[in-house]
Amino acid sequence: MLEIRVKRDVLARYNLHAADMNQTIAAALGGQNVGMLVEGNRRFEIVVRLSENDRRNLDVIRALPVRVGDSGMLPLGQLADVEQIKTVSPILRDSAQRRAALMVNLRGRDVDSWVKEADTKVREHVRLPEGYTLEFGGQFENLREAKAQLAIVVPAALAFIFVLIFMAFGSVRQALLVYSGVPLAVTGGIVALWLRDMPFSISAAVGFIALSGVAVLNGVVMISYFNQLREQGRDVRVAVLEGSLTRLRPVIMTAAVAAFGFIPMALSTSAGAEVQRPLATVVIGGIISSTFLTLLLLPLLYDLVERGRSRKATSETAPDLLQADAV
């Protein structure tokens, strides 16, 4: 530790205040803002201070000139004692246990994968003495707590969406048809993250929750219109073909509005982009895949399930009709 002790008698002799000397020390060691560099819309502060080697050299520090009024300058070494001393670091404790922390700033990697790799290597190559433990905290601890909360929130949200779909159609069969858009939407979001080389994060998990609602919405639009056409007397196949063509534009418009709205977030590089990009990437990729399901696979599944149910219902009522004719 660098210790600078002021010589009060010398300062009084030259009528010099300690603040003047502190200003010199602060400018030399900590740096002082002396101007602004302008490059277009960007502005950079110009800071002047000693080089790193000079800041470690006690002779250079002692030779720092300190202005004494209007009469001239004196070296810092005449006004203060400059020494490098050893000090005792504070002992940190958690739950009555001594703690030593190592701070790590990551760049270009996600916290989860780095911690897993670091934990594996430490356990393989480092043998801790008895009574010592190793824990990873900070952002990783926050991530672990958030994942535990999401393990409850995500299933609850999906179950709530299913209940709403069931209440809308009154049929578990059709609710499952609409709900089939969720897995393909999630697959699209995962593929989008993989293509952009992004790790799974909390913001991406939130994006999957939002994506589930968007994916289900288009399915509700299609299935409800199919049912409406069937109530008007259309056959299952005719209702599927007519309903798919009629609802093609609304489904594409709904998906396009949601996807285009997230494009600025997906391409963002400003402050907060590390939160915006995963969320927007998941939503855009999932919307593309869920739209494909809604327009192509969902009508096929509806036709397959409902035509099979219609044939079963016809076969069950046929013996009753024959018996009525015989009577």
Residue 289 lies in a domain: yes
Give residue 319's pLDDT band: very low, low, confident or very high (50, 70, 90): very low
Secondary structure class of 95 (helix, strand, coil) = coil
In terms of domains, do 232 and 301 share one?
A: yes
In a domain, 185, yes or no: yes
In a domain, 327, yes or no: no
Tally of structural domains, the chain: 2
Mean pLDDT in residue range 219-242:
79
Residue 259: CB atoms within 10 Å: 19
Same domain? For 181 and 298 the reply is yes
Domain limits for position 190: 139-309
Q: Is residue 160 part of a domain?
A: yes
pLDDT, tens only, 29-46: 888 888 888 888 888 888
Amino acid 321: pLDDT: 38
What's the average model confidence in pLDDT over 224-237? 79
| Same domain, yes or no: 286 and 144 | yes
In 7-85, which residue ranges form alpha helices assigned H by DSSP?
Answer: 8-13, 18-25, 52-56, 58-62, 76-79
Q: Of 74-88, 162-176, 269-283, 292-306, which one has max mean pLDDT? A: 74-88
Residues 79 and 144 in one domain: no
SS3 20: helix
Residue 132 lies in a domain: no
Residues 146 and 281 grouped into a single domain? yes
**DSSP code of 28?**
I
Is the full-model pTM beyond 0.85?
no
Whether 278 is in a domain gets the answer: yes
Residue 326: what pLDDT? 44
Same domain, 79 and 173: no
**Residue 202, pLDDT score:** 76
Asked whether the predicted pLDDT for residue 147 surpasses 50, the reply is: yes
Q: Identify which of 37, 61, 63 has the alpha carbon closest to the alpha carbon of residue 51.
A: 61
pLDDT digits (tens, 9 = 90+) for 64-102: 888 887 767 888 888 888 888 887 777 777 777 777 777
Mean pLDDT of the chain: 78
Residue 317 has pLDDT above 60, yes or no: no
For residue 263, tell me if it sits in a domain. yes
Mean pLDDT (whole number) for 203-218: 78
CATH code for the domain in which residue 37 is found:
3.30.2090.10
With a cut of 60, say whether residue 156 has pLDDT above it. Answer: yes
pLDDT value of position 309: 65
